[in-house]
Copies of this chain bind each other. A is one copy, B any other.
Amino acid sequence: ALYSNIATRKAEATQTVFKVVELTEGTINAAEWGKNFPRQYDTYKRTVDIERTRHGGSDAFQKLDDDPRWRVLFSGYAFGVDYREERGHAYMLSDQDTTERVTDFKQPAACLHCHSSIIPAYYKAGLEAGVPADEAHRQEAIMKGFEKVCAMPFAEGRKLVDHPVSCVDCHDPDTMALRVTRPGFLNGIKVLAKSSDPLPHLPSVERWRSGDRAREYDPNIDASRQEMRSMVCSQCHVEYYFKGEGKLLTYPWQYGLKVEQIEDYYNDVQWKDWTHKVSGAPVLKAQHPEFEMWSQGIHARSGVSCSDCHMPYVRDGAVKVSDHHVRSPMLNVARACQSCHRYDEEEIKSRVATIQDRTQKLMIRAEEATVALIKAIEAAKTAGASDNDLAKPRELHRKSQWRLDFVAAENSMGFHAPQEAARILGESIDYARQGEIEAIKVTPGGGARVSMVAPINPIQ
């Protein structure tokens, strides 16, 4: 019966790839691609759905109301005004348009790199900048245009794009093969490949390193398909900063992907995101280091890609397709996890909850320690401590807040690398409390009681 069952499904199967329209590098509109690949397009459209999970999901609530400590931690910076839970890909462009970080603050068009289907715009800008229009110079034109657009004011660049991430950003229109299109990532991974940070989870990089290095590492040439299943995501789900006057979007991977390696880079180039309004410290802002955190985890180490969990195969009649409804795997445990983990859904959810709750508890501890440090510096300043006195406490504020934010801004609440997330928070706490100590020591007349401790009945 089953065999005949399969046979009847076979007919259905052959309908899938049917070239209705020609697709080119210029075809940004996903609906066009949808004509050739209706199943993937159907799921892609579903990224508009709104559903909450214990620690994630797609309900764009205001994180600053959810945990007001962040208003203190971000004080003096745009993130202290509007910082929301992120949601589905369908919203990426409109959410960027409407965030107060854009409406109330000056931003460069570099922002658009990860919020729109922007490659054709880069290409055009490259040609205008004088790069020859032939196929041989295509990539050069894109990279040139990238530089040009990064430097524009947001509003000006915004006119060049009109579509959130689309098929062409991850797929070659001729072969449908995965590919990396984002200049930011192409530059970043090149630099990373040259670093000495061991990357066992990216075998193609290790292979390139042990080769003659005649040319630079290029994911579109070197990476395996399984690596591509993560790299297409890592085009955007990474830590970044805008380099120099040209606001060139840059991924800080020169020394490696770990939190302290990125910090070393920022220290070298004397980078700060802003000066903290209360403490006066030159602080850093971490942004969605999913790729960096995932890289430290056991899943990456085991060759498990972003797509394995966030775009699992779904059986659609007689064919399997990758679920393009990119979302929290907790909304799709059966497909995202159970093919590899044979536990029932409730069990899997509770394992994730254990990891995430542990991370959150420690994270709140780190938030309280860092807020206590900020208050201690404020107290010292009020009591008359000099900038010179405050140099060390501020330096420690920079270190503790960078580590805290690295875990907080990462969107899996520690799941992507549970032990690493806890280690980072432990260091954050250490630096925050050390800073508090330094601040108290430079406080004329000794600091007032700034940190609270829950008492237990002392034993004698």
Contacts and interface: CB of A to CB of B under 8 A. Distances in A.
Interface string A350-380: 1100010011011001100100000000000
A267 B457 contact: yes
A323 interface: no
A141 to B, nearest CB: 36
B422 A455 contact: no
Contacts of A414: 419
A397 B272 CA distance: 36
A440 B448 CA distance: 11
B430 A358 contact: no
A362 to B, nearest CB: 5
Most buried by B among A438, A440, A459: A459
A429 B419 contact: no
Contacts of A422: 419, 422-423, 426
Interface string A418-442: 1111110111011101101110110
B441 A441 contact: no
Contacts of A362: 423, 426-427
Interface of A is mostly: helix
Contacts of A423: 358, 361-362, 422
Contacts of A434: 433, 451, 453
Interface in A373-429: 391-392, 394-396, 398-399, 414, 418-423, 425-427, 429
A130 interface: no
A363 to B, nearest CB: 10
Given A433-B429, A434-B433, A419 B456 contact: no
A426 B362 CA distance: 7
Contacts of A421: 419
Nearest to A426: B426
Contacts of A429: 426, 429-430, 433
B391 A458 contact: yes
A298 interface: yes
A394 B433 CA distance: 17
A388 to B, nearest CB: 10
B398 A453 contact: no
A402 to B, nearest CB: 11
A270 B456 CA distance: 11
A459 B351 contact: no
A188 interface: no
Contact of A438 (B395, B396, B427, B453): B453
Nearest to A341: B302
10 contacts: A267-B457, A282-B460, A358-B423, A359-B419, A362-B426, A392-B455, A426-B426, A429-B433, A431-B453, A437-B437
Given A270-B457, A395-B455, 11 more contacts: A301-B351, A359-B419, A362-B423, A365-B430, A394-B458, A395-B453, A419-B421, A419-B422, A431-B453, A437-B437, A437-B451
Interface of A: 200, 267, 270-272, 282, 298, 301-302, 343, 347, 350-351, 355, 358-359, 361-362, 365-366, 369, 391-392, 394-396, 398-399, 414, 418-423, 425-427, 429-431, 433-434, 436-438, 440-441, 446-447, 449, 451, 453, 455-460
